[in-house]
Amino acid sequence: MKRFFLLHFLMIVSIFAFWGCQKGINLDDVSIPNRSSQTNLAIQIAEEVGIMHNEGLDYCYSKLNAINNIEFVFEDSLKMLLDREIKLYADSYIASKRYDFSDVFCSNIDNNISVTLNKVFNDSLPTLIFQNRVQAMYYDSIISIVENELLSYNDVLLYLNTLKENVINNFSNQEDLLVVLVGIEVAKNSYIYWYNDVKWKSLFADLKSSSDRKWFDWGNVWDGDIAGAVGGAIGGLPGGLPGVGTGALLGGIGGSAGMAVIQVIHHWI
């Protein structure tokens, strides 16, 4: 029964992540005297989103791990649980970071369930929305770094930090700067999180006996997860909105947690 809970959990979180209302800090609404200050603000926002991404994964883990009687958790009650608990998480933590997430949960969630399930079963991410080729190019650069099997753990972090410095020093368009920096920070934090993770592995340990668990490649969890995390974060800024809001944060969390369990779902369903 736990696999069905994982499916429902992924379904709900993915809906929140990729169809969430877009609200947050808008660089155009902030009075900043020069580009340097605006750039510093973009860096700060992106770094905070990266940190909150990992804290959100820990939060998701705590909710999954706390429910023992999975067979009694139906879709409606699960939705109510996540509505309440994730909103508390968002209101208490994110609000303290001066973000406005009062509209974290949109009213049309139920209408998107079948669409999300279709995407999950096809092992595909929601369509990413890039406003120009520059954003798409840097997304590809991020993915190529974390998927390079010849790079060590430290090398990956070094290359991501180097890419970050390159973006900061060469971008004049502040919207592109924020979108790409969010992608880099989510990728970096997600990589660190899954590379060093232990507790999520134990969460899935009871799904099969140890002798049957060879199919699951944990080395590929964080590798495949990065695409979901970065895609969710960048895709959470549609329409050129230069603000980090629900889509950017929950998009990263939903993409990351979703890619982590998608192997499990496909193995049993």
Residue 243: the pLDDT is: 40
CA-nearest of 12, 28, 186 to 106 is: 12
Least confident of 139-148, 185-194, 228-237: 228-237
pLDDT at 28 over 70: no
Q: Which amino acid is at 155?
A: D
Residue 129: the pLDDT is: 53
pLDDT band at residue 111, thresholds of 50, 70 and 90?
very low
Largest CA distance in the chain: 62
Each residue of 115-139: pLDDT tens digit?
333 343 344 444 455 667 887 788 8
**Percent of the chain scoring above 90 in pLDDT:** 8
Residue 43: the pLDDT is: 87
* CB-count exposure of residue 118 (10 Å: 0-12, 13-18, 19+): exposed
pLDDT at 101 over 60: no
Could you list the beta-strand ranges (E) of the chain. 25-26, 243-244
Residue 214: the pLDDT is: 52
Each residue of 169-192: pLDDT tens digit?
988 887 788 878 888 988 898 889
Element (H, E) at 202: helix 199-203
pLDDT at 231 over 50: yes
Each residue of 149-170: pLDDT tens digit?
899 999 999 999 999 999 999 8
CA-nearest of 78, 185, 107, 173 to 142 is: 185
Residue 14: the pLDDT is: 43
Each residue of 3-24: pLDDT tens digit?
445 545 444 444 333 333 333 4
Each residue of 40-99: pLDDT tens digit?
878 887 887 788 777 767 766 776 677 654 444 334 444 444 455 445 544 444 444 433
Residue 133: the pLDDT is: 81
Helix, strand, coil percent values for the chain (each to nearest 5): 75, 0, 25
Least confident of 18-27, 85-94, 106-115, 250-259: 106-115
Facing residues of 243 across strands? Answer: 26
Q: What is the mean pLDDT of the chain?
A: 61
Three-state secondary structure call for residue 20: coil
Q: CA 205 to CA 197: how far, in whole Å?
A: 14
Q: Where are the domains of the chain?
A: 2-268
Please name the residues in contact with 188: beta carbons below 8 A apart, sequence gap of 6 or more. Answer: 50, 157, 160, 161
More confident call, 82 vs 227: 227
